[in-house]
């Protein structure tokens, strides 16, 4: 993580954080490409800027040294705007992007993505576009939930177990104890398994219910 670098302008100029990230060091990846363009924008708009850079950090990581430091500065009222080169520099997950931007918005900090036209919460149009992105994200989550539920139901109809893994249980000791007159309560305690699970497994294997009188311990 690079130490924050600050440039100065008019005392009343917006205090802007430039955030840059490269996922791997070397391999022709350099945060300088992002920062050069951000600096040009900052100079044109007369911003007072501070730079936060995460080198060799994946965009899928929601916690990063420079990002965390920048967000802390925002929470302490040290920033007016956060500016990135592109949205994917802040994160590759739409949910995480919206979470960060929502937090910035809630504390009065704007957000600008230079290369993504229209992503600028300091303008009414930019705020509207982000609201649309949030709506699409919620729609995507709902669609995923529906597909998961439909898949589980289809699998269950085909006899596939869904949910918690089946408890491995050797029924031979249970069957022997049943033959000796023990009830389900005593057997389940002895085998360290719930009575409901034991009863279900015995029923599936055809060992329950027992013929004849009520078994001792089964009330």
Give the residue numbers marked as catalytic: 23
Strands (E), the chain: 2-6, 15-22, 48-55, 81-84, 110-113
- The pLDDT value given to residue 147: 76
| 8 A C-beta contact, residue 15 and residue 83 | no
- The pLDDT value given to residue 215: 43
- The pLDDT value given to residue 151: 75
- The pLDDT value given to residue 204: 84
Looking at the fold, whether 105 and 203 belong to one and the same domain comes out as no
Residue 112: give its domain's CATH number.
3.40.50.1390
pLDDT one-digit tens code per residue, 14-44:
999 999 998 865 555 678 889 999 999 999 9
Looking at the fold, whether 76 and 171 belong to one and the same domain comes out as no
Q: Is residue 159 part of a domain?
A: no
- The pLDDT value given to residue 110: 93
Q: Is residue 85 part of a domain?
A: yes
Looking at the fold, whether 16 and 101 belong to one and the same domain comes out as yes
Average pLDDT, the chain: 81
Distance CA 123, CA 127 (A): 6
Q: Is 18 left (phi over 0), alpha (psi -120 to 50) or beta?
A: beta
- The pLDDT value given to residue 7: 59
pLDDT one-digit tens code per residue, 127-166:
787 777 766 666 666 777 777 777 777 777 777 766 666 6
- The pLDDT value given to residue 107: 94
Looking at the fold, whether 120 and 170 belong to one and the same domain comes out as no
Distance CA 187, CA 179 (A): 11
- The pLDDT value given to residue 219: 43
Distance CA 40, CA 38 (A): 5
The backbone torsions φ and ψ at residue 101, rounded to the nearest 5 degrees and listed phi first, read: -65, -40
- pLDDT category at 212 given cuts 50, 70, 90 is low
**Any idea what DSSP says for residue 166?**
P
pLDDT one-digit tens code per residue, 152-203:
777 777 777 666 666 677 888 888 888 888 888 888 888 888 888 888 888 8
């Amino acid at each position: 993580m690079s130490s924050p670098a600050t440039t100065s302008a008019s005392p009343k100029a917006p205090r802007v954080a430039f955030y840059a990230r490269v996922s791997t060091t070397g391999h022709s990846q350099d945060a300088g490409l992002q920062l050069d363009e951000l600096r040009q924008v900052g100079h044109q708009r007369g911003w007072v800027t501070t730079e936060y850079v995460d080198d060799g950090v994946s965009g899928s990581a929601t916690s990063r040294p420079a990002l965390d430091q920048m967000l802390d500065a925002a929470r302490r009222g040290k920033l007016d705007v956060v500016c990135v080169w592109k949205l994917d520099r802040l994160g590759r997950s739409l949910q995480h992007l919206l979470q960060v931007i929502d937090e910035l918005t809630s504390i009065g900090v704007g957000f600008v993505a230079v290369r993504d036209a229209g992503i600028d919460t300091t303008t009414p149009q930019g705020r509207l576009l982000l609201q649309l992105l949030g709506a699409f994200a919620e729609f995507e989550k709902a669609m995923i939930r529906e597909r998961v539920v439909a898949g589980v139901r289809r699998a269950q109809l085909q006899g596939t177990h869904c949910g918690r893994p089946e408890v491995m249980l050797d029924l031979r000791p249970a069957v022997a104890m049943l033959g000796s007159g023990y009830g389900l309560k005593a057997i389940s305690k002895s085998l360290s398994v719930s009575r409901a699970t034991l009863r279900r497994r015995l029923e599936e294997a055809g060992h329950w219910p027992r013929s004849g009188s009520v078994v001792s311990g089964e009330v």
